[in-house]
Structure 1
Amino acid sequence: MSDPEIVVVGAGIVGVACALQLARQGKQVVVMDAQAPGMGASYGNAGHLATEQVFPIADASILKRLPAMLLDPMGPLRLDWKYMPRALPWFIRLLLNLRPTHYQRTVAGIRALNEGSLGAWQRLLHSIERPQLLREDGSLLVFERPDSRAALDALQQRMRQQQVPVDFWSGETIRQAAPQLSNNIQGGLFFPATGHFLDPYHVVCELVQAAKAHGVQFLKRRVLDGRVEAHGVSLNTDQGRVTAGQVLIACGAHSAKLTAALTGKNVPLDTERGYHLMLPHEHNRLPFAVTSLERKFIMTPMSGGLRLAGTVEFAGLERPANMKRAWQLHRLSSGLFREELSAQDATPWMGFRPSLPDSLPIIDRVCEGKVLLAFGHQHLGLTQAAVTAEMVGQLASSVNHPTYVPYRLSRFK
């Protein structure tokens, strides 16, 4: 293999979208990943284009919730007590980022990416002639308990302050749009500027085919480490050494080690372990993605059935998955529908969402342009993949350093 202009490390939705963008700009691109394209977190995400989610993954109430996080193995936010010593520095950083100035910067950064996400996805899917992969039909957040109305109203107000399109729907309006939902639902917030993907993994596969048509090579290799050299970068893989003019690190929750080797920066990257349960016999239950305010999980209609997803578990990259958390999602659905969901032939899954303590990704160009970075999108990787690819395209060809201040590596001293 001749030396490529740029190696993309990571074949998830972000890496593949970036590879296609770079190839269209005339770059010779090679993508490397230890797994086949799309088999990491991109395979099993909730499929929701979550442009409405402009707030960080946690707020100050996390301190009150810490005992439950440690003691309830099935809770929506779980911290494995064995992992706590390693997670503690990350959580301290998270709490420091809840200070007003830092929090406002985070919200502004997430909002800026999310505001550009739908348009970027429309452009990307139309460019590969697959616009039908995305349903732009909105999403719904429902509540069941009357005493939850105050929290919902407060959230609606916060959303409107951030210019997020949102409407209140009564229980009757919800059942007109989604008649299989239960009478227990009191009302909810409808977000018209969102949507969902019919099959997130299939989206990756379609982008891979488009990238290959533009000359991108996909190699199943594990990148072990690397170094920046005078004329580019050198990467050590499990199949030998590779040199290139540039490298893009886009391997999600596995990005920290290579970033440290190439840049000298130890980024505080951790993982939100997310679970899903796929119900293959549940079609036509919902017209769009529906999230439960009290139960804290999402249900997304897909071509392969109904996907129940959600929960956050902090237990690192090494501990085995606790698939009881995936099956818990089916139990959480009880009472949300007029008829209970079938779990026949259901399949559980767990994946690693890459998360930084300020909830912002790193999208940057460092080491005199030899190293590009695009990781740390937490649970918004699918949502922000297309707009990230457009930004990376600008970074790769930029002579001057861009002004993507909220997403720079240098924010971590």
Structure 2
Amino acid sequence: MSDPDIVVVGAGIVGVACALQLARQGQRVVVLDAQEPGMGASYGNAGHLATEQVFPIADVSILKRLPGMLLDPMGPLRLDWKYLPRALPWFVRLLLNLRPASYQRTVGGIRALNEGSLGAWQRLLHSIERPDLLREDGSLLVFERAQSRAALDALQQRMQQQQVPVAFWSGEAIREVAPQLSDRLLGGLFFPATGHFLDPYQAVCELVTAAKASGVQFIQRRVHEGRVDPQGVVLSTDLGAFRARQVLIACGAHSAKLTHSLTGKKVPLDTERGYHLMLPHEHQRLPFAVTSLERKFIMTPMAGGLRLAGTVEFAGLERPANMQRAWQLHRLSQGLFREDLSQQDATPWMGFRPSLPDSLPIIDRVCEGKVLLAFGHQHLGLTQAALTAEMVGHLQDSQRTGAGLPALGPYRLDRF
């Protein structure tokens, strides 16, 4: 291929979905990534299509939890002591975004994306003839302690205020559909407009196959920095310079440096390090994804077994993974089932989720249309990927027709 119309930097679920969308709109597309497609955060996410999660990961209670975040290495939300000096400016921004007006703007932004996400995934999966990859059978948030009922009721009310479909289920109702769950579960909230992927990595691979059939080239190459010139963009890679008319930055937690070199804008991007534990011998325990309110982790049934996922760790991109956090997920599962889950042949994993302090992604077109941006989806990358691809497609169409930028609301780069 001669100089492509657009280079997509990042071969995760967001980058691949965007590449397919752009190719279908007639663009000559090349995808660059240091890894094979789908081998970053997209490989090991929880697989939950989390359209119900319209609230950011933090609220004002984070101030009370901060000592525990620093002192408990196995806690559900952890901040590494050694990373604290680098993370502090990000956390200051996070706290500022908890002010009422900013918080409501964030909730509105997440909700707008999530409301359109299921439909976007339905359209995308039907277009590649693989709707079977997604189970649209809802998800459940359960509680065990009687004193948690007030918090659950308050959450249900907040969800209803945001028009999130939700229903309360008694413990008996839960065990009717998931009989292997323990009698200690007192009830929960069922979210019917959610679902789960049977294999998130396979979903990426199927999109890659469709993208290649549409002419997209995938090249394993690390991108270091870039510059904009009158002809387009030039990217500096480990195998030399790479030129294109446009670039789409969609490399998740690794997007900040490239964004700065191309646009001059420093974005406050940090990473939520997420862990999972895959249990390959657990295939019949759950009919859909189940999250524990008190234990703060999720269990998702997949083709390859049961995936336990969750916990958020702030420790940056460089520090080695603490796989004890992955194994801790099995300990958290004990007592939730009538019989404990099998750890035989279990495999731990850690990945980087890109997070901005207002919990919203950047989806934008800048530098006279030569730079497109689609990153920062925090733990909702899988959920929002298909809709993000459609939005990037609209950005590209508006560039081609001269119609100007679509309404991007809170996702613009210049909010920072």
TM-score (norm 1): 0.99
Q: Distance in 2 between matches of 1:303 and 1:8?
A: 30
Show CA shifts across 1:142-179 (max 9, x none).
Answer: 00000000000000000000000000000000000100
Larger mean CA deviation between 397-406 and 88-97 belongs to: 397-406
Equivalent residues in 2 for 1:60-71 (5 A)?
60-71=60-71
Q: Amino acid of the residue matched to residue 143 of structure 2?
A: F
Give the C-alpha shift of residue 251 in structure 1.
0.0
Which residue is equivalent to 1:306? 306
Deviation at 1:28, TM superposition (A): 0.1
Letter in 1 for 2:321: A
User: SS of the counterpart of 2:394?
Assistant: helix
Residue 401 of structure 1 deviates from its aligned partner by 1.7
Structure 1 residue ranges, 4+ long, deviating more than 3 angstroms after superposition: none
* 1:407 counterpart = 2:411: yes
The reply to whether residue 127 of structure 1 matches residue 131 of structure 2 is: no
Gaps of 5+ in 2: none
Residue identity in the other structure for 1:241: A
Aligned to 1:190: 190
What residue in structure 1 maps to residue 152 of structure 2?
A: 152
SS at match of 2:405: coil
| SS at structure 2 position matched to 1:180 | coil
Tell me how far apart the structure 2 counterparts of residues 82 and 142 of structure 1 sit (CA, whole Å): 34
Q: Equivalent residue for 1:373?
A: 373
After superposition, the C-alpha distances for 1:332-359 in whole angstroms (9 at most, x for unaligned) are 0000000100000000000000000000
In the TM superposition, residue 2 of structure 1 has moved relative to its aligned partner by: 1.4
User: Following superposition of structure 1 onto structure 2, how do residues 325-336 of structure 1 map, counting pairs within 5 Å?
Assistant: 325-336=325-336
Runs of 5+ consecutive residues of structure 1 not aligned to the other structure: none
**Alignment partner, residue 99 of structure 2:** 99
How many equivalent pairs are there?
412
- The residue identity in structure 1 corresponding to 2:152 is L
User: Does residue 1:115 correspond to 2:115, yes or no?
Assistant: yes
Task: Give the secondary structure class of the aligned counterpart of 1:183.
Answer: coil
Partner in structure 1 of residue 201 of structure 2: 201
Structure 2 letter corresponding to 1:334? Q
Residue 265 of structure 2 corresponds to which residue in structure 1? 265
One-letter amino acid matched to 2:33 = D
Instruction: Give distance in 1, aligned partners of 2:244 and 2:236.
Output: 12
Q: 1:363 offset after TM fit, Å?
A: 0.3
**For residues 136 and 406 of structure 2, what CA distance do their matches in structure 1 show?**
31
Instruction: Give the superposed CA RMSD.
Output: 0.4
Mapping of residues 335-350 of structure 1, within 5 Å: 335-350=335-350
- Partner letter of residue 117 of structure 1? S
Match of 1:279 in 2: 279
Please show how residues 145-294 of structure 1 align to structure 2 within 5 Å.
145-294=145-294
Shift of 1:237: 0.6
- Separation (CA, whole Å) in 2 of partners of 1:124 and 1:58: 31
CA offset digits 1:12-69 (Å, max 9, x no partner) = 0000000000000000000000000000000000000000000011001111100000
Deviations 1:282-319 (A, max 9, x none): 00100000000000000000000000000000000000
Code of the residue aligned with 2:187 in structure 1: it is G
Query: Which residue does the alignment assign to 2:19?
Result: 19
**What is the one-letter code of the residue matched to 1:167?**
A
With 43-52 and 236-245 compared, the bigger mean Cα shift is at: 236-245
| Matched AA of 2:405 | H
Corresponding residue for residue 388 of structure 2:
388
Tell me the CA shift for residue 397 of structure 1. Answer: 2.0
Q: Percent identity?
A: 85
Please report the TM-score for the alignment, with normalisation by the length of structure 2: 0.99
Q: Which amino acid aligns with 1:331?
A: R
Aligned AA (1:401): L
